[in-house]
Amino acid sequence: MQQLTIAGTTFNSRLFTGTGKFGDAATMEAAILASGSELVTVALKRIDPKDPERHDMLAWLRHPHIRLLPNTSGVRTAGEAVFAAQLAREAMGTNWIKLEIHPDPRYLLPDPIETLQAAAELVKLGFVVLPYIHADPVLCKRLEEAGVAAVMPLGAPIGSNRGLRTQDFLEIIIAQSKVPVIIDAGIGAPSHAAMAMEMGADAVLVNTAIAVAGNPVNMAAAFREAVSAGRHAFEAGLPGESRQAHASSPLLAFLDE
């Protein structure tokens, strides 16, 4: 499997994970290790250095192969996002930031205007910016022009587990993008992750579907396999769909002879 490079950093795994919704920290750590993930996103709130209990949470994620990706979840404007990113850089010692701006608490859908504005400012401030956005191909191009390191279009609303409901637009984004495309949000089953990779996505980010599974550790391992399967299939060359049947087996002529 080809390695993935984002902003000069190389990843062996194309499965990125999140840290929300797990029942406890030990399960979270075990699941993340089982996933093979090398990029793990953490909400800034959870690493508030003033709160020892929350700060301690980082201890579970300290593994040499894991890069932490703080996210700005909870902010509602570009200004709040830039401020949150700066806090995160200080608290976590990384200039990587997952930019999430969703003003609406019900569907948690990202704001395109604030996101582009914040992305441009953060790039100027030296951040490696990975914005979470709607599957909007024009917005992706504008973010790319603004200097983001990757784009993170959604498959479906966060936590909905509905899969790649934006497929037609993800295909366009993947075809056009010069930066890595990471499908984020909505991936609710390993088959969804495999499909994203088969379409040529560079990576997927999965959180809810692992965290709330009956067995999160085994589900993480399942996603690891599925992402690998989908990427291998993409590299091996999938055949196209057909409206007509094509026999797998040559027809048996001798019975008529």
Position 179 contacts a second copy (CB under 8 A): no
Q: Which stretch binds a second copy (CB under 8 A): 61-69, 89-97, 121-129, 139-147?
A: 139-147
The span from the CA of 95 to the CA of 92, in Å, is 9
The span from the CA of 224 to the CA of 238, in Å, is 20
Q: Residue 126 or 214: which CB sits closer to a second copy? A: 214
How would you classify the pairing of strands 182-184 and 203-206?
A: parallel
The span from the CA of 228 to the CA of 226, in Å, is 5
Range 108-123 burial, b when 16+ CB lie within 10 A, else e: bbbbbebbbbbbbbbb
Which residue has tokens 């040499």?
Answer: 64
Site for a second copy in 6-35 (CB under 8 A): 18-21
How would you classify the pairing of strands 39-43 and 67-71?
A: parallel
Could you say which of 7, 112, 121, 123 contacts a second copy (CB under 8 A)? 112
Position 52 contacts a second copy (CB under 8 A): no
Q: Shortest approach of a second copy to residue 163 CB, angstroms? A: 8
Measured between alpha carbons, how far is residue 160 from residues 56, 100, 155 in Å? 29, 17, 10
**Catalytic annotation on 45?**
no
21, 45, 50, 98: which is the annotated catalytic residue? 98
Number of residues interacting with a second copy: please give it, by CB under 8 A.
Answer: 103
Q: Which stretch binds a second copy (CB under 8 A): 3-11, 61-69, 121-129, 225-233?
A: 225-233
Q: Shortest approach of a second copy to residue 77 CB, angstroms? A: 10
Among candidate residues 91, 104, 109, the one with its CA nearest the CA of residue 42: 91
Position 246 contacts a second copy (CB under 8 A): yes
Position 55 contacts a second copy (CB under 8 A): no
- Catalytic residue numbers? 98
Extract the annotated binding site for 1-deoxy-D-xylulose 5-phosphate.
159, 185-186, 207-208
Extract the annotated binding site.
159, 185-186, 207-208
